[in-house]
Chain A
Amino acid sequence: MIRREIALEVNGRSVHASVEPRQSLADYLRDGLDLTATHLGCEHGVCGACTLLLDGEPVRGCITLAVAAEGRRVDTLEAFDEDPLMNLLRQAFSEHHGLQCGFCTPGMLLMARDIILSDRVASDAELRVALSGNICRCTGYAGILRAISAAREAWQARPHAATGPA
């Protein structure tokens, strides 16, 4: 079995690993590093349960190879325990019933945070489209959409909103 050595940064720590070239980033994080917040719902790039950040951009961990993360920064939901925007989202998801079984939730949260930070949606319809790569089978999306809108409002209304990133 061929293996490749990789070095990357995961949730703020530098990591060296030896992986099979075919191993997905999601499998490496889950099995190699025990970071199980990254869920696998389809393993073929459709459902978004495996959403994580690669150099700050949301990608699908199931169709990103671990070797492709060489020299790059990976962040999973585990990195956001103290993140102020993520905490607003957590509160909003709970208040607006944005989760039922919780399986899609980590992917939803990472995507929602990116949508709010990038300030790329202006309407409910745009928010729906921005979220269309993340499938939830339980909620019918109503609670998720309400939660993201509420968190976005709270984020924009925070003191010193204009003065910098999260």
Chain B
Amino acid sequence: MGGEGSGFGIGDAVRRKEDRRHLFGRGQFTADLRIPRLQEVAFLRSPIAHGRIRAIHVPEGLRDRVVLAGDLRGARSIRAVTDAPGFNAADFPLLASDKVLFVGQPVAMCLAPSRAEAEDIAQAIDLEIDELPAVVDMEAAVRPDAPLLHEGWGRNVFLTREFEAGDLERARAEAAVTIERTYRLNRQAGVSMEGRAILAHWDDRLDELVVWNSTQMPHQVRYALALHLDLDEHRIRVVAPDVGGGFGLKNIVYPEEIAVAALAAQVRQPLRWIEDRREHFLASIHCRETLYNVTAFATAEGRLLGVDVTVQVDAGAYATWPNGPNMELGMAIKNVPGPYRLEAYRARGWTAATNKAPIGPYRGVARPGACFCIERTIDEIARAVGREPHEVRMENMVRPDQMPYRSLTNMLYDNGDYAESVRIAADLVDVASVRARQAQGEADGRLIGVGFAAYTEQTAHGCGEWITRGVPIIPGYESCTARLMSDGSLQLLVGIQSHGQGLETTLAQVAHHELGVPFERISVRHGDSALSPFGMGTFASRSMVMAGGAVARASRMLAARIRPIAAQLLQCTPDAITLRDGAAHGPQGSVDFAEIGRVAYVRQEGLPRDAAPTLDVTATYSPEIDTGVFCYSTHAAVVAVDPGTGTVEILDYAVVEDCGTIVNPMIVDGQIVGGVAQGIGNALYEEIPYDTSGQPLATTLADYLLPGAPAIPGIKIAHMCTPAEHTEYGMKGMGEGGAISPPAAIANALRDALADTGAELCETPMTPRRVLAAILAAESRIHAREAAE
């Protein structure tokens, strides 16, 4: 291959192309764009969780600065319809005109030359709402007496699901150990450092709507705008400029975005909306809020026999576009078995509608909860049978000789050695020395403990898998146009979007590997619907495998076009040509890509008779299997907890993971650590509680805690590498994984630290208040038992 040994190929820790602009403060985020006549938009939002709008009084003189639902023409409410059986659809209005269903729901748009003035206008509007009883708790929401959010629905339920495989009754009968638990992951937000943002203007020369949008999926946004506006898709261009983090929450098309685009097209006035942090907490998607009731059966040795689980998801008020809230439940049910051999499994669940912000995808989607459910339970089984949790884990895992292994929930685990990842993790945190230290006790009176959590993560899944999820858009492929220019430099135009993942670098590494064009002469252009062929975007741990595959394929198509031209110039046969170091090499000599490019574009008399001019090819790529390739990992945490205050410190943290072939180890490790940091936030800090009237209680960074540098320990990382058999180079996706295990690993470490008290942490985030409550609850159980004896 062309890039071997150059230091810029597959497997090399190449420094990122994207760094320079950011390091000089010259990134171009949506708020940084400058365009004449621009008006800024502020949204007036509902201050009430559930109510009926009686009147909207706009002060005299401001009416032409305020846009209400009835003022928008040719723009439709969002309707995310999925094929999930029994799914209840709920139109999400761009601007509410009748009912409001959550605090923060957009009601009016206010226009002014600056954000501050636009906010002044919003503040001057008098919004009269007749308040209705709010539905805030997901369990109360589904009771027959609960007020209904959506007229026409019998119950506040988006969808229900059931699944059963294997003989659960037999597992129950054979079990020596039965564990019953309730686990709760509380509601949180995604919190990209740049909030949502959109700038839309009508380009009169091209007669098209141009939309600059902080999104993970510009092509899907274009599709969505054509769907929701009276505009042909060829009149819409969507560009994602620099995007300051996404993590899933920018993988949605929001009502605010469609409203701004619609109005810009309608009034032919450049408009921009920049979300502020409070709006982010109110009305960007929320995530994670799930309740698991689990019963697990095991033998006296700790062999898992069966699992029976009920999953409840709190989806908030509306279904967002494209996928609505249905993925969370389906993926939870699919992923509870995790990396374990399981012979009997029953799962039931429902997704409730409540008067809270809609939920959506956030790094890990459902799997942090599923992992918490099974991994906390495995620990309880191990404790019940008196064994080391990591050993019980290893014995229950799918073995390499069983691969490929079809799970009960029909996921095809392709390869790897799950138990080995646990063994290495146990070595990295040195379980024996933690045990010795525990026996000795800590001088400061704190208690220490070690905990593990493993997962196997489906990544880069194709068409068939997405169909089973009932989603309306099937992201089963990616695309790339590769263009060797007349001077021998190379452009890659791709349909994904990169917002921190470093794909401007790694995709260039792939093309360099295939073609030998010098790395610095390759540029990757992404995030612009006018530039590249249609592509799905960056989410679901897919872009390196999918777009990397498309780049590999396009590069090979280009090589197949370059060879005959080089052969003609070098007077040899095309198969005698190798591509390396920016040139084509034949048996007798070499010709550099600049000469080949010159011939292909501007001196076509040098082309072979049957060769077409230009060097510009387009490829699409889907992995050879639909079922995805499984990246897996074990995390181990060592914590110290102060039993007097409930504060938790992470003393040591190790990640062992196998994402197959690694393209850029620096970037992979960066994704792991970044994911773990978010998982630690999930485990210990981040939460948006609501009061009983549906008011969110954390809407600033002062009351919603994000982990800062002192909260994230140094993370030890070890890689295993089992190349995937069905992707280019053996790559597997890995972007989300780091965020999956930390809540479970930390909860298990706390369980271990507090073993003598019997306290268990079954709810995230594990704040000092919750840790103390768990200790007190355990103590009162012990006292009650002693009193009874």
A residues touching B (Cβ–Cβ < 8 Å)? 20, 22-23, 27, 30-31, 34, 36-44, 46-47, 49, 76-78, 81, 90, 93-95, 97, 99-106, 109, 125, 127-129, 131-145
Q: Tell me whether A102 and B244 are in contact in the complex, defined as CB-CB below 8 angstroms, given that A36-B32, A144-B709 are known contacts.
A: yes
B193 and A97 within 8 A (CB):
no
Q: A30-B32, A101-B243 are in contact. List 18 more A-B contacts (CB 8 A).
A: A42-B277, A81-B24, A93-B19, A94-B16, A97-B670, A99-B19, A100-B245, A100-B674, A101-B192, A101-B245, A102-B19, A103-B27, A103-B29, A103-B194, A105-B22, A135-B701, A135-B708, A139-B674
Q: B23 at interface (Cβ–Cβ under 8 A)?
A: yes
A-chain residues with CB within 8 Å of residue B23 when the two chains form the complex: 90, 93-94, 99, 105, 109
- Chain B 268-292 interface 0/1 with A at a Cβ cutoff of 8 Å (1 = within): 0000000011000000000000000
B residues touching A (Cβ–Cβ < 8 Å)? 15-16, 18-27, 29, 31-32, 34, 114, 116, 191-194, 242-245, 247, 276-277, 499-502, 666-667, 669-670, 673-678, 700-702, 706, 708-710, 712, 714-715
B-chain residues with CB within 8 Å of residue A99 when the two chains form the complex: 19, 22-23
B-chain residues with CB within 8 Å of residue A42 when the two chains form the complex: 277, 700-701
Q: Tell me whether A102 and B21 are in contact in the complex, defined as CB-CB below 8 angstroms, given that A42-B277, A136-B193, A141-B712 are known contacts.
A: yes
B715 and A77 within 8 A (CB):
no
B710 and A129 within 8 A (CB):
yes
B709 and A31 within 8 A (CB):
no
A49 and B25 within 8 A (CB):
no
Of B15, B242, B673, B708, the contact of A102 (CB 8 Å cutoff): B242
Q: Tell me whether A138 and B245 are in contact in the complex, defined as CB-CB below 8 angstroms, given that A44-B700, A46-B702 are known contacts.
A: yes
Cα separation A104 to B19 with both chains bound (whole Å): 12
Cα separation A76 to B25 with both chains bound (whole Å): 9
In the complex, what's the smallest C-beta–C-beta distance from A6 to chain B, in angstroms? 17
Q: Tell me whether A100 and B709 are in contact in the complex, defined as CB-CB below 8 angstroms, given that A34-B34, A137-B191 are known contacts.
A: no
Of A31, A41, A100, A145, the contact of B502 (CB 8 Å cutoff): A100
A-chain residues with CB within 8 Å of residue B666 when the two chains form the complex: 97
In the complex, what's the smallest C-beta–C-beta distance from B657 to chain A, in angstroms? 15
A36 and B31 within 8 A (CB):
yes
What's the A-B contact tally at a CB cutoff of 8 Å? 162
The residue in chain A whose Cβ has the minimal distance to the Cβ of B21 is A102
A-chain residues with CB within 8 Å of residue B501 when the two chains form the complex: 100
B277 and A77 within 8 A (CB):
no
B500 and A100 within 8 A (CB):
yes
Of A22, A37, A95, the contact of B15 (CB 8 Å cutoff): A95
The residue in chain B whose Cβ has the minimal distance to the Cβ of A86 is B23
Cα separation A125 to B22 with both chains bound (whole Å): 27
Cα separation A137 to B188 with both chains bound (whole Å): 14
5 tightest CB-CB pairs across the interface, nearest first? A37-B25, A102-B22, A103-B244, A140-B677, A100-B500
Cα separation A38 to B31 with both chains bound (whole Å): 11
A47 and B701 within 8 A (CB):
yes
17 contacts between A and B (CB under 8 A): A23-B116, A36-B32, A39-B244, A42-B700, A44-B701, A46-B700, A46-B702, A90-B20, A93-B23, A97-B669, A100-B502, A101-B244, A129-B709, A137-B245, A137-B247, A138-B500, A142-B673
Of A27, A37, A101, A139, the contact of B116 (CB 8 Å cutoff): A27
Of B20, B26, B114, B193, the contact of A37 (CB 8 Å cutoff): B26
B-chain residues with CB within 8 Å of residue A132 when the two chains form the complex: 708-710
Cα separation A94 to B715 with both chains bound (whole Å): 20
Cα separation A37 to B26 with both chains bound (whole Å): 6
Q: Tell me whether A125 and B710 are in contact in the complex, defined as CB-CB below 8 angstroms, given that A31-B114, A43-B276 are known contacts.
A: yes
A101 and B500 within 8 A (CB):
yes
From DSSP, what is the main secondary structure of chain B's interface residues? loop
A-chain residues with CB within 8 Å of residue B34 when the two chains form the complex: 34
A131 and B709 within 8 A (CB):
yes
B277 and A138 within 8 A (CB):
no
B667 and A43 within 8 A (CB):
no
B29 and A39 within 8 A (CB):
yes
A-chain residues with CB within 8 Å of residue B500 when the two chains form the complex: 100-102, 138
A-chain residues with CB within 8 Å of residue B701 when the two chains form the complex: 42, 44, 46-47, 135
A94 and B24 within 8 A (CB):
no
Cα separation A29 to B27 with both chains bound (whole Å): 16
Q: Tell me whether A104 and B193 are in contact in the complex, defined as CB-CB below 8 angstroms, given that A46-B700, A93-B19, A144-B709 are known contacts.
A: yes
The residue in chain A whose Cβ has the minimal distance to the Cβ of B280 is A42
In the complex, what's the smallest C-beta–C-beta distance from A116 to chain B, in angstroms? 15
A-chain residues with CB within 8 Å of residue B667 when the two chains form the complex: 97
Of B193, B243, B674, B710, the contact of A128 (CB 8 Å cutoff): B710
A-chain residues with CB within 8 Å of residue B192 when the two chains form the complex: 101, 103, 137
The residue in chain B whose Cβ has the minimal distance to the Cβ of A48 is B708
Q: Tell me whether A140 and B674 are in contact in the complex, defined as CB-CB below 8 angstroms, given that A42-B700, A101-B194, A135-B193 are known contacts.
A: yes
B706 and A40 within 8 A (CB):
no
The residue in chain B whose Cβ has the minimal distance to the Cβ of A99 is B22
Cα separation A129 to B116 with both chains bound (whole Å): 34
Cα separation A21 to B133 with both chains bound (whole Å): 42
Cα separation A1 to B34 with both chains bound (whole Å): 24
Cα separation A138 to B246 with both chains bound (whole Å): 9
The residue in chain B whose Cβ has the minimal distance to the Cβ of A40 is B31
A140 and B710 within 8 A (CB):
no
Q: Tell me whether A39 and B194 are in contact in the complex, defined as CB-CB below 8 angstroms, given that A34-B34, A77-B25, A106-B25 are known contacts.
A: yes
In the complex, what's the smallest C-beta–C-beta distance from B18 to chain A, in angstroms? 7
The residue in chain A whose Cβ has the minimal distance to the Cβ of B194 is A103
Cα separation A138 to B277 with both chains bound (whole Å): 17
B709 and A145 within 8 A (CB):
yes
B-chain residues with CB within 8 Å of residue A136 when the two chains form the complex: 193
B708 and A41 within 8 A (CB):
no
The residue in chain A whose Cβ has the minimal distance to the Cβ of B18 is A102
A-chain residues with CB within 8 Å of residue B712 when the two chains form the complex: 140-142
Cα separation A1 to B191 with both chains bound (whole Å): 34
B-chain residues with CB within 8 Å of residue A125 when the two chains form the complex: 710
B116 and A100 within 8 A (CB):
no
In the complex, what's the smallest C-beta–C-beta distance from B654 to chain A, in angstroms? 14
B-chain residues with CB within 8 Å of residue A127 when the two chains form the complex: 709
Of B22, B194, B670, B678, the contact of A41 (CB 8 Å cutoff): B194
Q: Tell me whether A22 and B116 are in contact in the complex, defined as CB-CB below 8 angstroms, given that A44-B277, A125-B710 are known contacts.
A: yes
Cα separation A40 to B695 with both chains bound (whole Å): 26
A-chain residues with CB within 8 Å of residue B31 when the two chains form the complex: 30, 36, 40
Cα separation A123 to B18 with both chains bound (whole Å): 30
Cα separation A109 to B670 with both chains bound (whole Å): 18
B-chain residues with CB within 8 Å of residue A143 when the two chains form the complex: 670, 673
The residue in chain B whose Cβ has the minimal distance to the Cβ of A135 is B706
The residue in chain A whose Cβ has the minimal distance to the Cβ of B277 is A42
B-chain residues with CB within 8 Å of residue A128 when the two chains form the complex: 708-710
Cα separation A100 to B247 with both chains bound (whole Å): 12
B-chain residues with CB within 8 Å of residue A31 when the two chains form the complex: 114
In the complex, what's the smallest C-beta–C-beta distance from B701 to chain A, in angstroms? 4
B-chain residues with CB within 8 Å of residue A131 when the two chains form the complex: 708-709
Cα separation A120 to B785 with both chains bound (whole Å): 54
A-chain residues with CB within 8 Å of residue B16 when the two chains form the complex: 94, 97
Cα separation A34 to B673 with both chains bound (whole Å): 34
Cα separation A140 to B245 with both chains bound (whole Å): 13
Cα separation A93 to B23 with both chains bound (whole Å): 8
A-chain residues with CB within 8 Å of residue B700 when the two chains form the complex: 42, 44, 46
Cα separation A134 to B15 with both chains bound (whole Å): 24
In the complex, what's the smallest C-beta–C-beta distance from A119 to chain B, in angstroms? 19
Residue in B114, B245, B706, B715 whose Cβ sees the most chain A Cβ within 10 Å: B245
